[in-house]
Amino acid sequence: MDMSVGSTTGEEAADFFGQTLEQANDAVVIIDDRNQVVFFNAAAERFWGCQRHEVLGSDVSTLVPIPIRSRNDGETGVNKIIGTSRDVCITRKDGEERWGAMAISKITLQGRILYAAFFKDVTQTRLKDIEQRLLSMSVNASSSATCIVDADGRLIYINDGLVRLLGYAREELLERSPQMFFVADTPGESQADELQLESILSGQPHEACGLVSKRNGQRLWVQVCSAPVFDAKGRIGNIVIVFTDITRSRLPEVLQDKVIGALLQEQPLESVLTLLCQEIERLAPEVVVSILSVDPQGLLHHLASPSLPADYSRAMEGLPIGPAGGSCGTAAFRGEPVLVSDIDTDPLWADYRWLAQQAGVRACWSMPVRNSGGRVCATFALYFRESRKPDTTHAHLIMTGTHLCMLALEREEARQSIRRMACSDALTGLPNRSSLLAEANRSLAEVALEQGELAVLYVDLDRFKQVNDALGHASGDELLQVMAQRLRSVLRESDIVGRLSSDEFVLVLPRMNATRVTAFLERLMLTLGAPADIAGTAMIPSASVGVSLYPSDGQDMESLLHCADIAMYQAKRTERGGFRFFLEEMDQLAQQRLQLETALRQALTSDGLHLVYQPQIDLRTNGLVGVEALARWEHPSLGTIPPAQFIALAEECGLINYLSQWVLCEACEQLARWRQSGIRVPSISVNLSPINFHNLNLAALIARQLQRCGLQPADLCVEVTEGVFLCSSPTTEQTLQDLHTLGVRLAIDDFGAGYSSLGYLRRLPISELKLDQSFVEELEHDASCRALSEAVIGIGKGLSLRVVAEGIEHAAQRDILRARGYDVGQGQLFSSPMPARVFGQWFVGWHS
In the complex, the residues that contact ligand C2E under the rule CB under 6 A are 614, 630-631, 642-644, 647, 663, 687-689, 719, 749-750, 773, 806-807, 809, 827-828, 833
Do strands 112-121 and 543-550 pair parallel, antiparallel, or not at all (unpaired)? unpaired
The listed partner (ligand C2E, Ca ion, none) that binds 652, CB under 5 to 8 Å by sort, is none
Q: How many angstroms separate the CA atoms of 833 and 836, rounded?
A: 9
Min dist. Cβ of residue 473 to ligand C2E (A): 27
Nearer to ligand C2E, 222 or 688 (CB): 688
Residues 236-275 that bind Ca ion (CB under 5 A): none
Contact call for residue 719 and Ca ion (CB under 5 A)? yes
Min dist. Cβ of residue 675 to ligand C2E (A): 21
Contact call for residue 777 and Ca ion (CB under 5 A)? no
Residues 302-361 that bind Ca ion (CB under 5 A): none
Min dist. Cβ of residue 776 to ligand C2E (A): 8
Nearer to Ca ion, 355 or 681 (CB): 681
Runs of H (alpha helix) within 500-634:
514-528, 557-574, 584-605
The listed partner (Ca ion, ligand C2E, none) that binds 145, CB under 5 to 8 Å by sort, is none
**Residue 401: exposure state from Cβ atoms within 10 A (0-12, 13-18, ≥19):** buried
Residues 649-688 that bind Ca ion (CB under 5 A): 687
Phi, psi angle pair for 99, to nearest 5°: -110, 135
Query: What DSSP designation does 180 have?
Result: G
The listed partner (Ca ion, ligand C2E, none) that binds 809, CB under 5 to 8 Å by sort, is ligand C2E
Residues 495/487, Cβ–Cβ less than 8 Å: no
The listed partner (Ca ion, ligand C2E, none) that binds 554, CB under 5 to 8 Å by sort, is none
Nearer to ligand C2E, 325 or 827 (CB): 827
- Closest by Cα among 688, 696, 684 to 628: 684
Residues 308/383, Cβ–Cβ less than 8 Å: yes
Min dist. Cβ of residue 771 to Ca ion (A): 9
Contact call for residue 749 and Ca ion (CB under 5 A)? yes
Nearer to Ca ion, 324 or 753 (CB): 753
Indicate which single residue of 453, 478, 553, 750 sits in contact with Ca ion (rule: CB under 5 A): 750
Min dist. Cβ of residue 630 to Ca ion (A): 7
Runs of H (alpha helix) within 458-504:
464-471, 473-489
The listed partner (ligand C2E, Ca ion, none) that binds 827, CB under 5 to 8 Å by sort, is ligand C2E
Per DSSP, the three-state class of 71 is coil
Alpha-carbon torsion, ordered 672, 676, 678, 679, to 10 deg: -20
Min dist. Cβ of residue 811 to ligand C2E (A): 12
Contact call for residue 286 and Ca ion (CB under 5 A)? no
Alpha-carbon torsion, ordered 675, 680, 683, 685, to 10 deg: -80
Contact call for residue 121 and Ca ion (CB under 5 A)? no
Other Cβ atoms less than 10 A from the Cβ of 679: the count is 18
Nearer to ligand C2E, 469 or 749 (CB): 749
Q: How many angstroms separate the CA atoms of 625 and 604, rounded?
A: 30
Nearer to Ca ion, 499 or 802 (CB): 802
The listed partner (Ca ion, ligand C2E, none) that binds 743, CB under 5 to 8 Å by sort, is none
Min dist. Cβ of residue 806 to Ca ion (A): 5
Min dist. Cβ of residue 462 to ligand C2E (A): 20
Q: How many angstroms separate the CA atoms of 719 and 840, rounded?
A: 23
Min dist. Cβ of residue 465 to ligand C2E (A): 17
Min dist. Cβ of residue 783 to ligand C2E (A): 21
Nearer to Ca ion, 478 or 628 (CB): 628
Nearer to ligand C2E, 644 or 819 (CB): 644
CA distances from 713 to 678, 731, 748 (A): 20, 21, 18
Nearer to ligand C2E, 327 or 687 (CB): 687
**Residue 433: exposure state from Cβ atoms within 10 A (0-12, 13-18, ≥19):** middle
Q: 454-486 burial, b if ≥16 CB within 10 A, otherwise e?
A: bbbbbbbbbbbebbbbbbeeebbebbbebbbeb
Residues 786-815 that bind Ca ion (CB under 5 A): 806
551 preceded by a cis bond (ω within 30 of 0): yes
Min dist. Cβ of residue 609 to ligand C2E (A): 9
Residues 682-701 that bind Ca ion (CB under 5 A): 687
Nearer to Ca ion, 163 or 761 (CB): 761
Neighbouring residues of 758: CB distance < 8 A, sequence distance ≥ 6: 795
Which one of 507-515, 539-547, 669-677, 745-753 is the stretch in contact with Ca ion (CB under 5 A)?
Answer: 745-753
Min dist. Cβ of residue 721 to ligand C2E (A): 7
Nearer to ligand C2E, 752 or 833 (CB): 833
Nearer to ligand C2E, 428 or 689 (CB): 689
**Residue 42: exposure state from Cβ atoms within 10 A (0-12, 13-18, ≥19):** middle
Please count the residues of this chain forming the interface with Ca ion, following the rule CB under 5 A: 5
Q: How many angstroms separate the CA atoms of 271 and 267, rounded?
A: 6
Min dist. Cβ of residue 640 to ligand C2E (A): 10
Q: Which residues is 617 bridged to in the sheet?
A: 624, 825
The listed partner (Ca ion, ligand C2E, none) that binds 783, CB under 5 to 8 Å by sort, is none
Residues 246/145, Cβ–Cβ less than 8 Å: no
Neighbouring residues of 815: CB distance < 8 A, sequence distance ≥ 6: none
Query: What DSSP designation does 108 have?
Result: E
Q: How many angstroms separate the CA atoms of 213 and 219, rounded?
A: 4
Nearer to Ca ion, 138 or 828 (CB): 828
Residues that bind Ca ion (CB under 5 A): 687, 719, 749-750, 806
